[in-house]
Structure 1
Amino acid sequence: MEIGMVGLGRMGANMARRLRRGGHRVVGFDPVEAARQAAAVDGLETVDALAGLAAALAPPRVLWLMVPAGAVDATLEALLPLLGQGDMVVDGGNSHYRDSQRRAAHCQDLGVHFLDCGTSGGVWGLEAGYSLMVGGDADAVARLRPLLETLAPAPDRGWGHVGPSGAGHFAKMVHNGIEYGMMQAYAEGFALMARKQELGLDLAQVARIWQHGSVVRSWLLDLAADALADNPGLEGIAPYVADSGEGRWTVAEAIDLDVPAPVITASLMERLRSRERNSFTDRLLAALRHRFGGHGIARAS
């Protein structure tokens, strides 16, 4: 099977490599010349324009988008005039599910199939495979099956058609919200052990113990164990945690659906808090304690 990969950043390029290993023909495009050159070094066939990508594939074509959520509409606007009846577009990035529903309806009007595919696996997916949550028409998913089976950890696991348009990206959104909460719990637990200095706990050792037989074992714990073994004091890492936006979307959905999600919400708030270098909140709290109770204030240097 052949496929056009739009977006040759690290994840898109790795997905293209895995597909090629599985015997599929992949033609790649990225607006950044350096990304195209890096992919071409590995033998990936590349083109320098979307028109060239569409022309390089035999209809009915499959175009897989690995572009930022904010670039999907512009990419579709440029791509759709190049496509025809029966062609397929797969959004494998982290788009909002409602945007995916809107895009699917628009593509359907033009006779083009649109699938939303929540994709997890990060930089490890090239070797370990990707977790794929696909939303859209069942017949289109069936047609895409050979590619999904190649990208997944195994043909019979790690991927699935989870529902209609939007369902794939909704499932991935919730997946990322859960990830926020799990990461926060690990971080808080290891911080607690690090603070108990009189016990001299080796955090990497504890993590390695928990990797086997423990109910808290997970791939995230494996990554924590590696990070703590390589850099026990986490020197050189700033206490600043970014977010992809999917945690925010998850919290917003929880509010809209009246589903309490305190752990995910708190973990998102902690990420926002990590970015405050000179917290107005904390300074006002200190001022209030001084005003009502006469408590001392630590003066800024």
Structure 2
Amino acid sequence: MSMQVGLVGLGKMGGNMAARLRDKGHEVVGFARHPEKRDVASLPELVERLTAPRVVWLMLPSGDPTANTIRELTSLLDTGDLIIDGGNTHYVDDRQRAAELREHGLAYMDAGVSGGVWGRENGYGIMVGGAEEDVARARPLCDALVPDNGGGYVHAGGVGAGHFVKMVHNGIEYGMMQAFAEGYELMAASDIVDDVPGTFASWREGTVVRSWLLDLLVRALDDDPELTELRGYAEDSGEGRWTVGAAVDHAVPAPVITAALYARFASRQPDSPAMKVIAALRNQFGGHAVAKADSGQAEEG
């Protein structure tokens, strides 16, 4: 079933999603800030181009960019139109947003989208939350976006459930990435393993840790076996923090995800203030070696 959809946000994710939808026979009317990427020059023009009842899918950064766009669309759309938020919005905002839109006669559903820059070729994981009738209406779009084998889709629950499970997904991703990272450092630091990249490559077949993340790590090591071209600095998208917060709210222990999030924080410190305190205390109570900041050399206390 071919559909028409307005897609707002044509960056790395949204642009590839638009291309995949078109490849599958859907009509996409795209709007973005950059003129070379968009089909229309404004949101009013986007709404005018779409046939009612309209479906508008947002792929924007969470927070103000999404909130401001929805606010503008609310004044432009008509009763019965559907807004889908496919960005990484915090799930707690979804129900309030859905209630506000309902007062204007507009439907709302949330969609967690995973797949990164490889989604156009391989398909995306789509995790949606919303009312049955809204989800059914958007299902042809989701079917086009997921992998060709039909997997990778779940209607997780009511409004907010799609973003909640995507948040948990990203928290799990943090933990998996951190485990691979620690394994790499341990093998590289030993005098036992001669071929660290080859070891990771061997794990891609027949082992219980084989995964797409492992495939991506092997790809990165093929390009730069000792990762000399990279800094050991990692940002977080915010969803790791939300996952840890949700674990606290529900009294669910999540030590792996929490530790992985804190490891990203540590990566941003050129010289850890906390470890300076540890060094100072060890020097005070035991006269242990202290590394001087100006020389990097340790002196015996």
Shorter-normalised TM range: over 0.9
1:50 CA drift (Å): 0.2
2:145 pairs, out of 129, 144, 151, with 151
2:108 pairs, out of 114, 123, 133, with 114
Q: Does 1:54 align with 2:56?
A: no
Runs of 4+ in 1 over 2 A off after TM superposition: 198-201
The corresponding residue for 1:243 is 236
1:129 pairs, out of 117, 123, 130, with 123
Alpha-carbon distance in 1 for matches of 2:119, 2:135: 21
1:201 pairs, out of 185, 188, 194, with 194
Alpha-carbon distance in 1 for matches of 2:207, 2:11: 36
Q: Deviations over 1:143-171 (max 9, x none)?
A: 11111100010363211211000000000
Q: Does 1:98 align with 2:92?
A: yes
How many residue pairs align between the two structures? 291
**Within 5 Å, which residues of 2 pair with 1:117-266?**
117-154=111-148, 156-196=150-190, 198-266=191-259
Q: Does 1:23 align with 2:25?
A: yes
Q: Deviations over 1:215-235 (max 9, x none)?
A: 011000000111111101101
1:63 pairs, out of 56, 74, 79, with 56
Alpha-carbon distance in 2 for matches of 1:205, 1:297: 38
Alpha-carbon distance in 2 for matches of 1:94, 1:109: 24
Alpha-carbon distance in 1 for matches of 2:154, 2:208: 26
Alpha-carbon distance in 2 for matches of 1:241, 1:112: 39
Q: Deviations over 1:206-262 (max 9, x none)?
A: 111100010011000000111111101101211111000000000001011010000
- Secondary structure of the residue that 2:6 maps to in structure 1? strand
Q: Deviations over 1:104-163 (max 9, x none)?
A: 111112111101000000000000000000000111111111111000103632112110
1:200 CA drift (Å): 4.3
Alpha-carbon distance in 2 for matches of 1:278, 1:59: 57
Alpha-carbon distance in 2 for matches of 1:263, 1:234: 24
Calculate the TM-score normalised by the size of structure 1: 0.95
8 Å Cα contact 1:203-1:228 kept in structure 2: no
Alpha-carbon distance in 2 for matches of 1:63, 1:201: 53
1:199 CA drift (Å): 2.8
Shift in CA distance, 114/51, structure 1 to aligned 2, threshold 3 Å: same
Alpha-carbon distance in 1 for matches of 2:286, 2:197: 43
For structure 1, the residue ranges without an aligned partner over 5 or more in a row are 41-45
2:279 pairs, out of 281, 286, 290, with 286
Alpha-carbon distance in 2 for matches of 1:24, 1:83: 21
For structure 2, the residue ranges without an aligned partner over 5 or more in a row are 295-301
Residue 166 of structure 1 aligns with an amino acid whose one-letter code is G
Residue 22 of structure 1 aligns with an amino acid whose one-letter code is K
- Secondary structure of the residue that 1:249 maps to in structure 2? helix
Residue 131 of structure 1 aligns with an amino acid whose one-letter code is G
Residue 93 of structure 2 aligns with an amino acid whose one-letter code is D
More helix by share: 1
The corresponding residue for 1:43 is none
User: After the TM superposition, which of the residue ranges 198-207 and 70-79 deviates more from structure 2?
Assistant: 198-207
Calculate the TM-score normalised by the size of structure 2: 0.95
- Secondary structure of the residue that 2:291 maps to in structure 1? coil
8 Å Cα contact 1:204-1:226 kept in structure 2: no
User: After the TM superposition, which of the residue ranges 202-211 and 264-273 deviates more from structure 2?
Assistant: 202-211
Alpha-carbon distance in 2 for matches of 1:111, 1:91: 17
Residue 241 of structure 2 aligns with an amino acid whose one-letter code is R
